[in-house]
Structure 1
Amino acid sequence: MKELKRVVITGLGAITPLGNNVDEFWENIVAGKSGVAQITKFDTTAFKTKFAAEVKGFDPSKYFEKNEARKYDLFTQYAVAAAEQAIKHAGLDFSTIDTNKVGVIWGSGNGGIITFQDQLEEFFKNNKQPRFNPYFIPKIIADIPSGVISIRHGLRGLNFSTISACASSTTALIDAFNYIRLGKADIVIAGGSEAAINESGIGGFNASKALSTHNENPQKASRPFDVSRDGFVMGEGGGAMIVESLESALRRNAPIIAEFIGGGMAADAYHLTGTHPEGEGAYLGMLDAMSDANIHPDQIDYINAHATSTPLGDESELRAVQRVFGNRKDLHVSGTKSMTGHLLGAAGALEAIITVKALLHNIVPPTINTEVVDEQWSNTFNLTLGKAQPKNINFAMSNTFGFGGHIASVLFKKYQG
């Protein structure tokens, strides 16, 4: 049997509500800042939710030639920008690499929802005359970011998109991990992006009663684990990781941020939009990730929880964590969506970046806004409330769950050669 290759992370890129590069983003995460504010992208007068975690000050001209950006929906622009940052961070020079062994796997739950709405509005304004933009279809389909990234750099390795709702980019990372350790690729640019802060996105999630309506104090609206939590806060942006075989990274003398050691996937098989009350899928996904990595629950130091701040979702995840880990006050858990909002299909990539940065710097990022935790969880885990905490972290996990019951968990280890 062929021996599986070791896999590492060598580059990171991020476009987020808390900064448009990884350093700024991480600095604000550690500081416990919120990226949530009133929506500026459209008139929210008639909407139940009037706030979101928007990307601020994004400049497409840093990444695209003049007029090129108009070919792409915003979710693709975020993808390209995050990928370009990650490529630079990893020191990748594609002129010296076999690009047939470099792939791109990208996740998005919604694709070009902004373009789709805008084009339909134009269609009806023009008396249903079919004057569609020639880029309409490539702007809306979810696979376009992986294609655009590969075209820009001449990458002819494996190339596809993953769609598993809010688990999409974590699924992309797991696929990258598996293809690399099987020797099907040397390097994969993996991640996810989302741009769904428009009338359709906010109105649709309002209709499903998933969003917070805490309009009087938006920055405190996302409050994972709090007894008064009332729904998630929409976010947008993109996150990219360079996932690479250790052999390739050492050959390039690349910076190694963390070792990627396991991925677990499962399904709740329970409800269209709700999580299993006992966290059945989350429980199985976490167990699968640890089995994949051949480690035990007591070795995990930190979990970046899915923690969307929904009443049922947070409860079910904590039940699953308790089933796997027992009551461990030494286990740090944090819900960083309290700061970033929920980036939907891009959430997993962004939270994986947070997780490996926590490993690298021995800092557990905080859960902000949470004031009163249900009594049954007050003596189970360290929920890292209010402020970041220093901790020696050797093994860290990140969880993501999506509508349809999709479960994905990834495991990283501090790289030690």
Structure 2
Amino acid sequence: MKEEISITAVASISPLGELLEGAFEQYQQNTHCFVQRNYNNRDTWVASLPDNVWEKIKQLKNSDTKYKNLDDSVLYAIYASRKAIKTAGWSGGDNFGINIGSSRGATSLFEKFHAEYLKNGRTATLASPTTTLGNISSWVGHDLQTQGPDISHSITCSTALHSLLNGVAWIQAGMADKFLVGGSEAPLTPFTVSQLRALKIYTPAALSLSGQENPYPCKALDLTKKKNTMVLGEAASMACLEKGVSKNTVAIIKGVGYATEPLVHNVSISTDAVCFQRSMRMALGDISPDEVDVIVMHAPGTIKGDLSEIRAIEKVFCNKKPFLTTNKWKVGHTFGASGMLSLEMAILMLQKQKAIKVPYVSYESTPKTIQNVLVNAVGFGGNAVSILLSKLG
């Protein structure tokens, strides 16, 4: 990093709720946030927003006639973004940039409009403008009345951390002093679930994964599982980036790393995740691997995905692996928002000085102090991002 860039606020809505303190308390409980819904006449585990949060999203939708036609992914982003800049002490009209991404974008609206097209042979007037990916950041920019650039992108499941990379690049280039970055995903739709089932990576509907009763539908980071156990979740998560350090700083970005590896299959990465090896080494820079206390893994709950990331960590950290954790056993895989939820989890551990365990993983020890946390994300296409965060002071 050429200069210090700090995170001055994080805010999210997720299956954990909308409060940071509440999220940390939830992480201390060994219960997941999954519920069963029926998609395509099949019981399906998903992680949805709590009812009280969903009620606030409906209030937002009804607060402005223009918002009534927006997809949930846009509304989630608007709500979480308002919370983030309020916490950071930013005001509407400030010259800050926005980069919010999504893997799927306006999934629900797109499916609705496509069904109408198949039935009627024509589309609704607002079908195009409300389903473009770019409308997430542009609507957030409109809502916050910022004078800075509005950027949207989709880089599959590493989207949110790529938005952080972009924010860092703009600040280091001297083109902005502040950037709002994050990801938003509202993918709990029949077609999206069907796509994941077609890939054969979704968890079984039953609570039995290997002949024994199992209370965790998603077994992320469990290397003994015999079946893929990915569970889909919805969320929006944002972070406020600022040049330098301020009274609101909650964590320092010490390093960023990224890599893309040549693929042998459309959806797979190499058995030892070369992309993660490269991104983690880049994020570490001159910092010794021994100084990393915790890694928040991508760990989607698939057999190959979890194992390949573990092997990459073993390559980079050799015989001294940091404390390993993930939140997907709790909140599922939220696609383009997942990396920022992992970053939020990292900040909670830095603030509380307490490692968050995966309940069914055996740990030999936990770190007594937490100074540096590495956060990983990767998506289809082998595009990995690693962010190294440090505690202030």
TM-score after normalising by structure 2: 0.91
Q: Does the CA contact (< 8 Å) of 1:239 and 1:346 recur in 2?
A: yes
- What is the Cα deviation at residue 214 of structure 1? 4.2
- What is the Cα deviation at residue 120 of structure 1? 1.3
Tell me the distance in 1 between the aligned counterparts of 2:59 and 2:18: 11
- What is the Cα deviation at residue 77 of structure 1? 0.9
**How far does the alpha carbon of each residue in 1:251-305 deviate from its partner, in whole angstroms, 9 at most, with x for none?**
xxx41101112111101312311121111111111011111xx312111000000
Q: CA 1:396–1:193 in 2, change beyond 3 Å: closer, same or farther?
A: same
Q: 1:44 aligns with which of 32, 39, 43?
A: 39
Query: How do residues 273-312 of structure 1 correspond to structure 2 at under 5 angstroms?
Result: 273-291=267-285, 294-312=286-304
Which residue is 1:22 aligned to?
20
Q: Which amino acid aligns with 2:229?
A: G
Which residue is 1:60 aligned to?
57
Q: Which amino acid aligns with 2:320?
A: R
Q: CA 1:60–1:383 in 2, change beyond 3 Å: closer, same or farther?
A: farther
Q: Which amino acid aligns with 1:403?
A: F
- What is the Cα deviation at residue 181 of structure 1? 2.4
**Please, which moves more after superposition, 190-199 or 134-143?**
134-143
Structure 1 residue 412 and structure 2 residue 393: aligned? Answer: no
- What is the Cα deviation at residue 68 of structure 1? 3.8
Q: CA 1:369–1:136 in 2, change beyond 3 Å: closer, same or farther?
A: farther
**How far does the alpha carbon of each residue in 1:356-411 deviate from its partner, in whole angstroms, 9 at most, with x for none?**
1111111111213458xxxxxxxxxx488xxxx66311110110010111111111
Q: Secondary structure at the match of 2:257?
A: strand
Which residue is 2:259 aligned to?
266
Which residue is 1:402 aligned to?
379
TM-score after normalising by structure 1: 0.86
- What is the Cα deviation at residue 141 of structure 1? 1.7
**How far does the alpha carbon of each residue in 1:212-242 deviate from its partner, in whole angstroms, 9 at most, with x for none?**
1143368511112321252311011110000
Q: Secondary structure at the match of 1:162?
A: coil
Tell me the distance in 2 between the aligned counterparts of 1:219 and 1:400: 26
Q: Does the CA contact (< 8 Å) of 2:323 and 2:367 recur in 1?
A: no
Structure 1 residue 173 and structure 2 residue 164: aligned? Answer: yes
- What is the Cα deviation at residue 123 of structure 1? 2.0
Which residue is 1:161 aligned to?
152
Tell me the distance in 1 between the aligned counterparts of 2:126 and 2:320: 52
Question: Aligned residues, how many?
Answer: 381
Q: Which amino acid aligns with 1:221?
A: P
**How far does the alpha carbon of each residue in 1:292-341 deviate from its partner, in whole angstroms, 9 at most, with x for none?**
xx312111000000111101011100000000001226x21102111010
- What is the Cα deviation at residue 44 of structure 1? 2.6
Q: Which amino acid aligns with 1:170?
A: L
Q: Which amino acid aligns with 1:4?
A: K
- What is the Cα deviation at residue 61 of structure 1? 4.7
For the aligned residues, what is the CA RMSD?
A: 2.0
Tell me the distance in 1 between the aligned counterparts of 2:70 and 2:386: 30
- What is the Cα deviation at residue 62 of structure 1? 4.9
Q: CA 1:383–1:75 in 2, change beyond 3 Å: closer, same or farther?
A: farther
Q: Secondary structure at the match of 1:240?
A: strand
Q: Which runs of 4+ in 1 moved over 6 A?
A: none
**Please, which moves more after superposition, 232-241 or 12-21?**
12-21
Which residue is 2:211 aligned to?
none
Q: Secondary structure at the match of 1:139?
A: coil
Q: Secondary structure at the match of 1:220?
A: coil
Q: 1:5 aligns with which of 3, 13, 19?
A: 3
Identical positions, percent: 24
Q: 1:393 aligns with which of 365, 370, 373?
A: 370
Q: Secondary structure at the match of 1:411?
A: strand
Tell me the distance in 1 between the aligned counterparts of 2:230 and 2:368: 28
Q: Does the CA contact (< 8 Å) of 2:298 and 2:377 recur in 1?
A: yes
Q: Secondary structure at the match of 2:348?
A: helix
Query: How do residues 330-345 of structure 1 correspond to structure 2 at under 5 angstroms?
Result: 331-345=322-336
Tell me the distance in 2 between the aligned counterparts of 1:350 and 1:223: 18
Which residue is 1:34 aligned to?
32
Q: Which amino acid aligns with 1:262?
A: G
Query: How do residues 56-205 of structure 1 correspond to structure 2 at under 5 angstroms?
Result: 56-57=50-51, 58=54, 59-64=56-61, 65-94=63-92, 97=94, 99=95, 102-126=96-120, 128=121, 130-132=122-124, 134-205=125-196
**Please, which moves more after superposition, 13-22 or 202-211?**
13-22
* Structure 1 stretches lacking a partner, 5+ long: 372-381
* Structure 2 stretches lacking a partner, 5+ long: 209-213
Q: Does the CA contact (< 8 Å) of 1:360 and 1:414 recur in 2?
A: yes
